[in-house]
Structure 1
Amino acid sequence: MSSPLSVDGARVHGQEVRNANVTAVVAVANILKSSLGPQGLDKMLVDDIGDVTVTNDGATIMRKLEVQHPAAKVLQQLSNLQDQEVGDGTTSVVLVAAELLKKANELIKGGIHATNVIQGYRAAMKECVKYVPHALGVKTKTLDEQVLVNIAKTSLSSKFIGNIITPSKRTDAEFAKLVVEAIKSVRVSALMARISTQLVK
């Protein structure tokens, strides 16, 4: 006699589940892969009602994707968190996460226990945290105007605004200067507001 709670379907577990998870994650990463970097290609996304979005911004692409697989949804959450906390690097974080999962699955298939893989990844992360600031960080004595403009240009180059700049309009350097001026004015305004509040008290 079958259980009243039974439904038609099949139960999957173990390596089969891991393979399905990795396949879903890699499929999402492959969508983003060609949009990475300054030479990244734009994606055309069409929603249910026919609205079209053209962008190469990883956060926008991930937000517009309609995914059903739980592992792919985790990537969406990761992308959203990266966008909220940092504001950039959403494509990179998705591609790195997918590659780490892919390599982890290969290690497990090779007979290494999942716990050992996790411990190895955590140890590697600690080494990366030590290595990156010294090897890849650029030291500067002062954050002068030009350094700030260059930082802003780097960030703007990955956003949609970089695609609409033409010779007849503002250059990316002019947009970067506007961003720097806006940030500096907000910082000064916030400081003056704090000083005013303290004086009133």
Structure 2
Amino acid sequence: MMQGEVGPGILKQGAQEDRGDTARLQYFVGAVAVGDLVKSTLGPKGLDKMLQQMHAEAARREKPLVTNDGATILKSVWLENPAAKVLADLALQQDMVCGDGTTGVVVLAAELLREAEQLVEKNIHPQVRV
């Protein structure tokens, strides 16, 4: 079996497994992208986002949704990246427990990961606390 391949029955046919630095970089990029998506809605001068259904039939029936709520935005977008999904789940849990602060918690987590990426690039092990 070559690197990047997984044994039969674990992944779909033609799927690829990423490991090491490639996988870590993809996680960082996904998490930071989610943070950047909702960052502009944060604070008293935060901007609203306009969300439109992607399916043509649904788009004709529904009006665009205008919101600055991080949880609503993250519920409305399709996420494939595992780290992005974790941050979206973090926002949903924050909304269920506290009812507010969804954008703040996502932006904070994304910025922590952005800083962690720089530490990893300096070959500081992820389990070492600075």
TM bracket, shorter-chain basis: 0.7 to 0.9
Asked if 1:71 corresponds to 2:83, the answer is yes
1:1-201 aligned within 5 A: 5=8, 7-47=13-53, 48=55, 49-50=58-59, 51=62, 52-117=64-129, 120=130
The whole-number CA distance in structure 1 between the counterparts of 2:112 and 2:32 is: 10
Structure 1 residue 41 displacement after superposition: 0.7
| Deviation by residue 1:21-52 (Cα, 9 ceiling, x = unmatched) | 11111111111111111111110001231132
Q: How many residues align?
A: 118
Greater than 6 Å deviation, 4+ residue runs: 1-4
Distance verdict in 2 for CA 1:107–1:63, change over 3 Å: same
Greater alpha carbon shift after TM alignment, 106-115 vs 90-99: 106-115
Whichever of the two has the greater Rg, that structure is 1
Map of 1:165 onto structure 2: none
| Deviation by residue 1:69-97 (Cα, 9 ceiling, x = unmatched) | 11111111100000011111110100010
- State, as a whole percentage, how many aligned pairs show the same letter: 42
Q: SS where residue 104 of structure 2 aligns? A: helix
CA RMSD across the alignment: 2.3
Higher helix fraction: Structure 1 or Structure 2?
1
Structure 1 residue 10 displacement after superposition: 4.1
For structure 1, the 5+ residue unaligned runs are 121-201
Q: SS where residue 15 of structure 1 aligns? A: helix
Structure 1 residue 105 displacement after superposition: 1.5
TM (normalized to structure 1)? 0.54
Q: SS where residue 115 of structure 1 aligns? A: coil
